[in-house]
Structure formats: structure tokens, C-alpha cells
Amino acid sequence: MRLLYTVVLCLVVPLIVARLMSRGFRERAYRDRISERFGLGTHIGSRRGCLWVHAASVGEVQAATPIVRALESRYPGETILVTTTTPTGAQRAVETFGDSVVHRYLPFDLPWTMARYLDRVKPRVAIIMETEIWPNLMALCRAREVPVVLANARLSERSASRYRMFRRLYTPVFRGVAAVAAQSDKDAIRLASIGAPQECIDVTGNTKFDVPIPTGLRENAAALRRTWGATRRVWIAASTHQGEESQILAAFEQVHNRLPESLLILVPRHPERFPEAEALARRCGLISVLRSQRTTDCTKAQVYIGDTMGELLLLYAAADVAFVGGSLVEIGGHNVLEPAALGVPVFFGPHHFNFAEISRQLVEAGGAEIIIDTAHLARSVIRHLEDEDLRSNAGEKGRAFVKSGRGAWERVIAMITPHVEGHVTD
């Protein structure tokens, strides 16, 4: 089955490269460092090897942050390698860790590219965030006696169904997994159903609850609000995808009719779509301003486009209520814990299966509301912007919910430590 998988991947890789190059014409980061995708140029400057953490994209980098920080603290002499698969993940890793870690792109899961990569980086432990299950990579790690730990592992029922269709491929893969730190009991059950050994699975919680709040964030958010007009009511629609912005702008029209001084912060998920979002707002006849312009007087702006990277927490902190995207279209939703941790009431659409358990719990805690359609979104935003007590109550409930889930990173580190200790050279 792994041979068949490799053959199929050989046919698919040229298409992936073509897509990366095509997107690279609009966003250079997609075509930069393309050689790393084939295991070339991956030297890390350490003959002793490294402690390797793989975090596919932005969300995984966030989940990995407390783990990487703990590794830095406990093993100060070790080289820590962080790999991603997306340019946005790469940028977030660089912004978060700076020069304290080495960043590389993870190669395609072809046996020869992965072998070349492992020869060059010499990982002594592989910590894979969430559900990045690569058959050839894991087989090669097993052959080289590199322990693989799945950290903050999650698996939706939809994904589990797909994996079960190829159980003959994935069951052998899990034989090389040293430990699985699952986010929840349901994740643990699903992971076991696709071949993860029960004795290797432990439920540790979700490290995304350990959202770090940067020093001075609230002061900076207050300063940003002053550029908009300190008394204006502000709502944010973040991590939006194609097909969502039009719905959000339709909701904004209703909100604006009721609250003419209100401001919408619009933050598309992918950087290459920033110009598209601005153009859409302008076509709707709205006055829009780009965050990247650093305009000091935005009092006349109606839509503020968050077209910078690494500032989403700042924009959440500057808003009164937050809608989290990828949920009005069938993407599966994005992280709802960031705005909740800041005491901002959260809304999201019906398609939140990537965060189903957390979303359900946050709604039950009173910190979030599921939005069915555009009209529902407009009504909920208006209700919360007009009622300060309602807004404050929902925000505090969300904040308390996030606080109650903190500490997962410590349990994950406790699970990882025996495998790191056994492979770190003094």
C-alpha cells in the first residue's frame, strides 16, 4: 500500500509544484525556497542533529509555540528545527521564534526526498503537531529509530472516515509512533480507529488554550482604536475565505444602517486575497483603509482591511465582537480561542467541524454563538454592539472558558520528555 501511495504521490507532486509556482506569481513566498520541498538546501548547521517540531501552517505554529518555548528552556544547547508546509506558517514561525529556531519547509513525502532531508537535519525526536500523518516519513523515522510523537493530535469524524478507507496504509504507519497526545477523548477514539495503538494514546488537552497574550497588547489595541475614533463600535470578521466576504459585507450593510458609526475589520485568511477583499469592499461603495498603510486618521473608514501578518491578536483586542471565518463556507472553521482569550464575544457559522468540540464547549459556556446566515450575523452583531452588559458578560464567559483549559502544554511536554531525554546527547 505504501508503494502504491508513493506512485500516486509521484504523479501528484508535479501538479503541486505547478500550483505553487502559479500562486508564486501573485505571492512570491509560494515559489521561494522551492528546493526545500525536495529535501535540498535543508542543512541546519548542526552536526549533532536537532529536536524537530513540524507545524503545518499558522494554527499549528500557534499550538506548537508553548512546546517550542519549553524545549528552548529545558534544552538550551540544542538546535530546534521548526518545519511548515505553507508560506503563511513559515512567516508566523519566523515572527514568533525569530532566530531562536531554524525554519525549513517540510519536503514532499517521497522516500528519496525524505531520506535526503533526514540525512541532513538528523532529528533525534520528531514532534508532529495535530494530524500530519505522512507514511514515508514515519516509516523512515521508524527505520532510523527516531521517535515520533503526535502532539495536540486531533481528528474530525470526516477525516477519520477518509483515513479508515485506507486503513491498510495507515495502520503500519502508526507502528512507528512513540506517543500520541490527543486533544480530547473523541479525538483519542478516532485516532485509535485508524490504527493508533491504544497504549500510546493519552488525552492531554489542546495547547491552543495556552494562548500567549503579548505584553502591551491592550495598550496597543487602545491606541489603534483611537485612530478609528475611540467611541465607535467595532466588529471583526477574521480568517475569512472566498465566498464569505460578500456575506459579511451584506451583514455589514444591515449593521451600518442601524449603527452608522460602526466599523468592520475584515481579515482574509490568505495574504494573496487581501487585494480581492479590498476591491470587494470598494465595489460595495464602502470607504476602506488598509492596515499596512498605517493611517493615523481612519475616522471616516467603514471597512478596515487587516492586510498584515502576525497582528490578528491585536485586531481582535481592538474589536468589540468577533466573527471567525471558514465557517459560513465549508472550510471547517478556524481557531475561536484567540478572541475568547481576550474577552471578545465570538460568532462563527455552521461549518465548524475542524473545531467541533471546542466550538460546542465555548457556546455552552456562553462565550460564543453559532450564526446560521447573513441576517442572523447582522442581528447578533447589532445586539451585542448595542448592549454593553451582554457583550461584557459573553466576553468574560469566553475568557473564563479559555482559562479553564490552560495547561495542556505541560501535559504534552511531560509526554514528550522521556523520548527527548533518551535521544539528546549531553
Catalytic residues: 60
C-alpha 376/C-alpha 381 separation (Å) is 9
Q: Grid coordinates 468577533 are at which residue?
A: 322
**Cα–chain-centroid distance for residue 105?**
16
Kindly report the length of the chain.
426
List, in order, residues 6 or more apart from 164 with CB less than 8 Å away. Answer: 193, 194
- Give, rounded to a whole angstrom, the gap between the first and last alpha carbons of the chain: 40
List, in order, residues 6 or more apart from 139 with CB less than 8 Å away. Answer: 2, 172, 173, 176
Q: Residues 241, 242, 247, 250: is their CA dihedral positive or negative? A: positive
Grid cell, residue 99, equals: 532566530
List, in order, residues 6 or more apart from 142 with CB less than 8 Å away. Answer: 148, 175, 176
Beta partners for 346?
Answer: 322, 368
**Contact present, 43 and 389 (Cβ < 8 Å):** no
Q: Reading across the β-sheet that carries 177-182, which strands appear in turn? A: 102-105, 80-84, 50-54, 123-129, 148-153, 177-182, 201-203
**Contact present, 66 and 43 (Cβ < 8 Å):** no
**Contact present, 103 and 90 (Cβ < 8 Å):** yes
C-alpha 273/C-alpha 306 separation (Å) is 11
Q: What are phi and psi of 56, to 5 degrees?
A: -55, -55
